[in-house]
Amino acid sequence: MHSYARVNMESTLFFVLGILRFSLATENFHWGYHGDSGPSYWSQHFESCAGKWQSPIDIPREEDVEYAGHLGFVESYGYDDVRVHTLKNNGHSLQVDVSGDSYILGGGLPGLYKVTQLHFHWGRTSDRGSEHTFDGTAFPMEMHVVHYKKEYGSINEALNKSDGLAVLGFMFKVIPFDNVFYEKFLKKLSAVQYSGESTDTWPMRLTDILPNSWQNLKYFRYNGSLTTPPCTEAVIWTVFTRPIYISEKQLRQFRKLYSNEKSSETYEHISDNYRPVQPLNNRRVLKNVRFQLL
């Protein structure tokens, strides 16, 4: 065999072995929020996590955000009658999977978006926890209501499109008394204390756990990504300014959830399950109204 052919074959072999090692490393990588599985390592295993349109972001001072009168307000259909959903601990967050015909439209969205799930991000203490921040200010928890564009048929197909997902972001603010609308919801958490556990819930109205008249509220809009791996840049973000109110006692119930399965030898609570803010990279951040009281 000629030497150049042997060198070429060896180079090809090393390249293939390198790809295999990378694939196996990514396959065996269990992402999380701390240590060598945390956000600073995600891009080594998920290429999109190093993209230019990543989320979350720090939303600038309101006077620095561009007003876009064409956005208007977000409309909802079926939020008052979500028939079937499942509450589960996925090891990273508390997630509610939704079935039924519930949609959002309007608000400058390019089509009809079907709700599929909602989940929460929170901090170990109440001085942090939200993924988005407002001019550097964090909140103790943030809820994401995830929708996919109906015309794409499924969330998996929608992830391949730049306008595939529409996520509503809601901040939480601590008050001295309980939020009565969350009490029934939180009583179910004892059934999902450990990773992998799930339970069926009642036909909850999504509007019960959102701010009053949320469709008529001010929001910020920008194009971004999933805030967890694979960090796909397919999300139209709508981040509302008015918070949801919750007590410290109610927040502690989220912090009691474990990231481990019940059969594990050691246990660790889900805590600080938020991705740090990402560079804006010259993206436009818009707001739908000029002025509005909280």
Q: Which residues are catalytic?
A: 92
Distance CA 144, CA 236 (A): 12
Distance CA 158, CA 150 (A): 9
166 touches 108 (CB < 8 A): no
Distance CA 95, CA 196 (A): 11
Residue 123, judged by CB atoms within 10 A of its CB (0-12, 13-18, 19+), counts as: buried
The residue ranges of DSSP E strands in the chain, in sequence order, are: 58-59, 66-67, 74-77, 84-89, 94-99, 103-106, 113-122, 133-134, 141-149, 165-175, 198-200, 219-224, 235-240, 244-247, 286-287
Distance CA 66, CA 57 (A): 16
Pairing state between β 133-134 and 58-59 = parallel
- Angle (CA) 273 279 282, round 5°: 145
CA pseudo-torsion sign 136, 230, 260, 25: negative
221 touches 285 (CB < 8 A): yes
Which uninterrupted H or E stretch holds 41?
helix 39-42
CA pseudo-torsion sign 101, 286, 165, 206: negative
